[in-house]
Structures are given as structure tokens and as C-alpha cells.
Amino acid sequence: MTKQDSNKLKGRSAIEAAHVGVTNEDESRLDTTISQLYGVESDEAVDIHANYHIDKILASLAKRARENGMKREVLAERIQYLDISGSAYQVAKGKLTEAAAVDALFRGLSAIENNGKADDRFNVYS
């Protein structure tokens, strides 16, 4: 998709298009693109970018928790103890990959579930 085509998109679709092929090092430069796409100041673009990653991280955490047998209610209760927004801001700044953020947060869920002891992250709830 060309830059001109991505400029025609709106909302989440525009941000997803801007992320295509982006490396971790390029992630922090997307704030400028988001600022232009939405016509907002850079500080608001940073928040929009982080919120995009919050949504993706939450979806990935929910999927992984579900795959490991954690019920939605338990996830909703325990997720409040995790710093998801901090992780999302690190991803948006290119300091952390989204996959690494999800792994770390899932280990946090595991530790909460197991009273502070993180078990094997691939066999946490079985």
C-alpha cells in the first residue's frame, strides 16, 4: 500500500497500514505519521499510537489466557494489576516489541495466578 493510499484510510485501518513493514526502530517515528493522519499535535499522536498498541496487547493477552484455560472474568480481575499502558508506550517508542510486551505481561498474569510464582508460561493454567 502506498503512502498516498494509507492517507485515505481513517482510524485503526490507517494506523494498521502505517505499521506494515515497520521495524522496532521505526516504531517511534510513526507518531509523526499518526499526527498527520489525524491532524493532531504530536502529544496526542503519541497517545493515539499507544492506545493502538494497548488494544493489540489486550487482544493478545486475552487470546493467550483463553488458550491456557483462564476464564474471561479472572483475566478481567487480574489485568488491573499489570502495567499495560506502560508497556504499550514502550512498544510505541520502539523500546520493546509487542510480542515481548505480551510475553512479559502474561508472565505477570501467571505470577498473580500462582501467588507470586511464575510457572512455565506455556502450561500455566492446566
Ordered by start, the domain boundaries in the chain are 3-113
Cβ atoms of 90 and 96 within 8 Å: the answer is: yes
Compute the distance between CA of residue 77 and CA of residue 5 in angstroms, rounded to an integer: 41
Q: Which helix (H) or strand (E) holds 4?
A: helix 3-8
Helices marked H in 20-119: 30-38, 42-67, 72-78, 84-92, 98-113
1 pLDDT band (50/70/90 cuts)?
Answer: very low
First vs last Cα of the chain: how many Å apart? Answer: 43
Q: Which amino acid does the sequence have at 36?
A: Q
The pLDDT tens digits for 24-63 are: 767 778 888 899 988 999 999 999 999 999 999 999 999 9
71 vs 3, higher pLDDT:
71
Q: Which helix (H) or strand (E) holds 14?
A: helix 11-19
Q: Does the structure show a pLDDT above 80 at 117? A: no
Q: For residue 32, give the C-alpha cell.
A: 509523526
Q: For residue 90, give the C-alpha cell.
A: 514502550
Compute the distance between CA of residue 94 and CA of residue 67 in angstroms, rounded to an integer: 28
Q: For residue 91, give the C-alpha cell.
A: 512498544
